[in-house]
């Protein structure tokens, strides 16, 4: 049977989170995202200003400029809330359109759910839409369900499966996140997306964004 292939480009957040890369790589990542029409470019907060110059705001809304995404508290979220909030503020001030935030997993494990909620809510209040990085492959089912509710209560717009520092994302994780979200948030599959077949399966499972550093390779595979 033939398979109807989705248009992957508008779903891809083109990520460059390797710390051993500089401005040249950031420029290339932005140019690739514009060339292929990716949904976004995802960079460390340190690079938001540089990427913003490469992705001029004035063309947004015309279908030509990917959204600029900054990770916050990446990759483990184990920093004081004031530091994480300051990083989010700096990223927003530098021009980030979206924030991918690592929550306070330690607070979740200790049952301090109000601290986790307050930290995320304070960042969501800054304005840019927030995706929360859940590490769905590592959390216990009860922890994952609780964290999803916290994220949605805080105002998060997306649930992101992982940071890439844990197990690779699976279709089961995407399905579960969709079930837990109940239409209240989108699902971003991220972490270890290496092949076109894997990307297509994640979209078919319900992912509405794909976070990957292999966006160019996926597009080339899609077109062959």
Query: Would you please indicate which residues are annotated as catalytic (active-site) residues?
Result: 100, 160, 188
Report how far residue 29's alpha carbon sits from residue 68's, in angstroms, rounded to the nearest whole number. 11
| 47 CB-near residues (< 8 Å, 6+ apart) | 16, 23, 26
Alpha-carbon separation of residue 124 from 46, 85, 183 (angstroms): 20, 10, 19
The pairing of strands 12-16 and 40-44 is parallel
């Amino acid at each position: 049977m033939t398979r109807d292939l989705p248009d992957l480009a508008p779903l891809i957040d083109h990520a460059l989170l390797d710390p051993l890369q500089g401005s040249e790589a950031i420029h290339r990542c932005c140019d690739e995202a514009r060339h292929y029409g990716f949904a976004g470019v995802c960079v460390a907060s340190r690079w938001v200003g540089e990427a913003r110059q490469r992705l001029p705001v004035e063309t947004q809304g015309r279908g030509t400029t990917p959204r600029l995404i900054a990770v916050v508290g990446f990759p483990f979220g184990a920093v004081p809330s004031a530091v994480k909030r300051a990083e989010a503020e700096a990223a927003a001030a530098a021009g980030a359109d979206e924030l991918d935030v690592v929550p306070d997993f330690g607070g979740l494990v200790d049952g301090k759910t109000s601290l986790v909620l307050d930290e995320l809510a304070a960042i969501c209040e800054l304005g840019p839409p927030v995706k929360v990085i859940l590490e769905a492959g590592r959390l216990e089912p009860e922890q994952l369900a609780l964290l999803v509710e916290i994220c949605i209560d805080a105002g998060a717009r997306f649930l992101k499966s992982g940071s890439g520092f844990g197990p690779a994302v699976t279709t089961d994780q995407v399905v579960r996140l969709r079930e837990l979200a109940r239409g209240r948030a989108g699902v971003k599959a991220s972490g270890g997306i290496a092949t076109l077949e894997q990307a297509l399966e994640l979209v078919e499972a319900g992912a509405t964004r794909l976070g990957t550093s292999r966006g160019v390779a996926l597009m080339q595979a899609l077109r062959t």
